[in-house]
């Protein structure tokens, strides 16, 4: 069967169509870098052919060599039999137009916060106002911290994570982006190792999946580190701890941005009088809120009781 398929499919487009069929048959889940079968299949074909992802499939060699066809077949097979997200097979992911190394020690980057970084957090952070220090809590691959460092070339960025495994990947990406002088990987349980530091912007995509969602997630998610996903019964364990601690670490005019995804309703229910600013996204995503340092101080007592 394998040999027949490899013999008969001699061009990149044919392989993309075959890949889509395999994904359909196996009920593959998309959402770790692509959101549909066509993009995922094209990604794997171009990767196997060692071609850039922004190139048209029609530019692939034709006919493909037998070695190229075997490489594509084997990559599709690994995707459908292991159910690993494609990024763990290619060890590449994109965030804010930047390339990151990824493996199973870190989540595959996909946070809608990337869109806010691309706009330099405008209009919530005034465009002319300097930024000296930014903190990314739960940095994983370092994608948010590193994208912030690119967006704010004068800022120092701390990239904090509790997992030394994840931080090894963060460091690899800091090196990849040649940002060793400006992005610091810090092992820290949320903010605990950062005493005395002040930031204008604190941003976090912490674990926020609740017990019910964890149980029903497609297999692809179970290849990701559960330390990066699981966050208690209502998904808010980490967000609440950050809300409690953040005021001590933010400058007076600072802002805090946290992603809580589907746990947004639970947060609004738990703290109904707090004026969370729920941000909207052009390219999809939800469950990201912003509070100012002043609001964090004003509602501090409520966060302590939450």
Ligand X SMILES: C[S@@+](CC[C@H](N)C(=O)[O-])C[C@H]1O[C@@H](n2cnc3c(N)ncnc32)[C@H](O)[C@@H]1O
Question: Between residues 166 and 279, which has the closer beta carbon with respect to ligand X?
Answer: 166
Q: Is 34 in the site for ligand X (CB under 6 A)?
A: no
Q: What are phi and psi of 205, to 5 degrees?
A: -115, 80
State in angstroms the smallest separation of the CB of 201 from ligand X. 14
Q: What CA–CA distance (Å, rounded) separates 226 from 21? A: 30
Q: What CA–CA distance (Å, rounded) separates 104 from 223? A: 7
State in angstroms the smallest separation of the CB of 122 from ligand X. 20
Give residues with Cβ within 8 angstroms of 14, minimum separation 6: none
Q: What CA–CA distance (Å, rounded) separates 38 from 237? A: 37
Q: Which 8-state DSSP code applies to residue 230?
A: B
State in angstroms the smallest separation of the CB of 107 from ligand X. 4
- Pull the structure tokens for residue 180: 């060793």
State in angstroms the smallest separation of the CB of 40 from ligand X. 19
Instruction: Using alpha carbons, list the distances in angstroms from residue 78 to 85, 100, 287.
Output: 10, 21, 33
Residue selected from 34, 68, 90, 139 as contacting ligand X according to rule CB under 6 A = 139
State in angstroms the smallest separation of the CB of 136 from ligand X. 6
Q: Is 60 in the site for ligand X (CB under 6 A)?
A: no
Q: Is 98 in the site for ligand X (CB under 6 A)?
A: no
Residue selected from 51, 80, 227, 268 as contacting ligand X according to rule CB under 6 A = 227
Burial class of residue 57 (count of CB atoms within 10 Å of its CB; 0-12, 13-18, 19+) = middle
Which residues ranging from 249 to 288 are in contact with ligand X (CB under 6 A)?
none
State in angstroms the smallest separation of the CB of 99 from ligand X. 14
Q: Is 90 in the site for ligand X (CB under 6 A)?
A: no
State in angstroms the smallest separation of the CB of 86 from ligand X. 16
Question: Between residues 71 and 257, which has the closer beta carbon with respect to ligand X?
Answer: 257
Question: Between residues 139 and 244, which has the closer beta carbon with respect to ligand X?
Answer: 139
Q: Choose among 154, 153, 129, 134: nearest CA to 144.
A: 134
State in angstroms the smallest separation of the CB of 213 from ligand X. 13
Which residues ranging from 156 to 195 are in contact with ligand X (CB under 6 A)?
160-163, 166, 189-190
Residues touching ligand X: how many (CB under 6 A)?
Answer: 23
CB count within 10 Å of CB 274 equals 18
Question: Between residues 109 and 247, which has the closer beta carbon with respect to ligand X?
Answer: 109
CB 89 within 8 Å of CB 78: yes
Q: Choose among 168, 172, 287, 163: nearest CA to 225.
A: 163
Span of 13-21, 107-115, 150-158, 276-284 interacting with ligand X by CB under 6 A: 107-115
Q: Is 33 in the site for ligand X (CB under 6 A)?
A: no
Q: Choose among 20, 1, 86: nearest CA to 48.
A: 86
Binding site for ligand X (CB under 6 A): 106-107, 109, 111, 137-141, 143-144, 160-163, 166, 189-190, 205-207, 227-228
């Amino acid at each position: 069967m394998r040999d027949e398929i490899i013999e008969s499919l001699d061009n990149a487009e044919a392989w993309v169509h075959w890949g889509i069929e395999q994904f359909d048959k196996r009920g593959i889940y998309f959402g770790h870098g692509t959101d549909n079968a066509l993009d995922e299949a094209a990604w794997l074909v171009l990767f196997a052919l060692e071609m850039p992802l922004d190139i048209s499939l029609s530019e692939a060699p034709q006919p493909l060599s037998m070695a190229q066809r075997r490489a594509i077949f084997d990559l599709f097979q690994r995707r459908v039999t292991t159910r690993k997200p494609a990024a763990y097979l290619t060890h590449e992911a994109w965030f804010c137009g930047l390339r990151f190394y990824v493996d199973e020690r870190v989540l595959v980057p996909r946070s809608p916060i990337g869109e806010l970084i691309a706009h330099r957090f405008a209009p919530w952070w005034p465009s002319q106002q300097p930024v000296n220090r930014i903190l990314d809590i739960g940095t994983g691959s370092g994608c948010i911290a590193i994208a912030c460092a690119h967006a704010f070339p004068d800022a120092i960025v701390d990239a904090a994570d509790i997992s030394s495994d994840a931080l090894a990947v963060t460091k690899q990406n800091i090196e990849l982006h040649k940002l060793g002088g400006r992005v610091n990987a810090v092992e820290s349980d949320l903010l605990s190792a950062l005493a005395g530091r002040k930031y204008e912007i604190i941003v976090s995509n912490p674990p926020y999946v609740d017990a019910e969602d964890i149980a029903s997630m497609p297999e692809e998610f179970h290849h990701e580190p559960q330390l990066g996903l699981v966050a208690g019964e209502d998904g808010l364990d980490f967000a609440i701890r950050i809300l409690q601690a953040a005021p001590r670490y933010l400058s007076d005019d600072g802002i805090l941005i946290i992603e809580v995804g589907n746990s947004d309703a639970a947060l609004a229910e738990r703290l109904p009088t707090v004026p969370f600013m729920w941000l909207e996204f052009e390219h999809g995503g939800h469950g990201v809120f912003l509070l100012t340092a002043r609001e964090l101080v004003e509602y501090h007592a409520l966060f302590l009781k939450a």
